[in-house]
Amino acid sequence: MSGQAPPRSDGLPVSGRGPVVGIVGGGQLGRMLALAGRPLGLRFRFLEPKDDPPVSELGQVIQAPYDDREGLQALAEGVAAVTYEFENVPVESARVLEQMAPVFPPPAALAMAQDRLTEKESFRRLGIETAPYHPVDSLTDLREALKKLGAPAVLKTRRFGYDGKGQVVIDSLEDGEEAWSELGGRPLILEGFVPFERELSIVAVRGRDGEFRDYPLVENDHRDGILVRSRVPARGVDEELQSKARRISEAVMDELDYVGVLAVELFQVGDALLANEMAPRVHNSGHWTQDGAWTCQFENHLRAVIGLTLGSTGLRGEGAHMLNLLGDPPRRERLAAIPGAAIHLYEKDPRPGRKVGHVNLIAGGGSGPAERSLEDRLREAIELLDG
């Protein structure tokens, strides 16, 4: 949907102090959740072990480890719901919180997402296609897996890998020992390469009452395992492909009785979609929704977890691009001079490869002077970032 705003029946209080939402984690996603929730009248409490996190000025911060019992109790006291901004929250901590307050998404979603083997097996059990894979617990396992899957392949840690970390590309059967020397000694998984045409993601949201909505399919570009650019809608997507992605999201959400935003990263191979991995939280490839959708992923996640009606996931304009700001990006003033550029910074110190913000560029919807096309503005932004 674009152009005219859809009607909304929010169920929001019209006065008084709003409910408190507890968030495990105090990074940029927690920050963006809180910024989206303030107009709804929501208040926030965070559990975060680090000093001076990005959420410092947006609510009460309980500084404690994620598995600290007293910290968990303080987080849950009197809240409408607890959620999390990253998927490596200890599952046991989520289960402890569940005894004190409603916790969404459910701990089972964390357990599924935190282990790549469990994740792949769950996808297959639900009838969702994946790349070929093989569990690896020893060098002998790796040799057998390489014989079965062939090379090239990717050896990954089963847990705690993100943004390209915890994985090694194996280009030939002879490279197995070198990869094992780098990652061996912990549970691993070998994934076979698939001849995918592009990487896509589906960002969807499910409410407490089972209401489901999905955003248009997103096309993603990565560099060194880190997302650098997302475009929406993905080029050439028809309703059939969107429906295939929607069915994948719905299958996972229905299986887990899921509440909140879920992102599933996908490989497109011809007309088929293979599930790569899922994120039980708001997701980098959904950041474009802050400026390009009627209801952003952060607001819809909060609406879901506290039991409000979900907002429209339709496009405000004709489409959008999101560019991640990595390391030490150009001065804000230079990006802000591009018509229609919406800049979102995370209050994080820059270092090489670190995500410190993103910029959204919107097509249509009054995003800039008519003579400046989206492609022209996008080119200028990319030249600034790469230069």
| Homologous superfamily of 132-192 | ATP-grasp fold, A domain (3.30.1490.20)
What are the boundaries of each domain within the chain?
A: 132-192
CA torsion, points 131, 132, 134, 135, in degrees to nearest 10?
20
Closest by Cα among 43, 52, 1 to 23: 43
Q: Which one-letter amino acid corresponds to residue 161? A: G
Task: Give the full edge-to-edge strand order of the sheet including 60-62.
Answer: 60-62, 43-47, 20-24, 81-84
Residues found in the chain: 387
- Which stretches within the chain are classed as H helix? 28-37, 69-76, 91-98, 107-114, 116-125, 139-149, 176-183, 239-256, 289-292, 297-306, 332-336, 374-386
Distance, in Å, from the CA atom of 381 to the CA atom of 54, rounded to the nearest integer, reads: 25
Which pLDDT value is given to residue 299? 98
Which pLDDT value is given to residue 260? 98
Which pLDDT value is given to residue 5? 52
Backbone angles phi, psi at 272, to 5 degrees: -95, 155
Segments of the chain scoring below 50 in pLDDT: 1-3, 7-16, 365-368
Which pLDDT value is given to residue 321? 95
Half-sphere exposure of 199 (CA within 13 A, CB side): 17
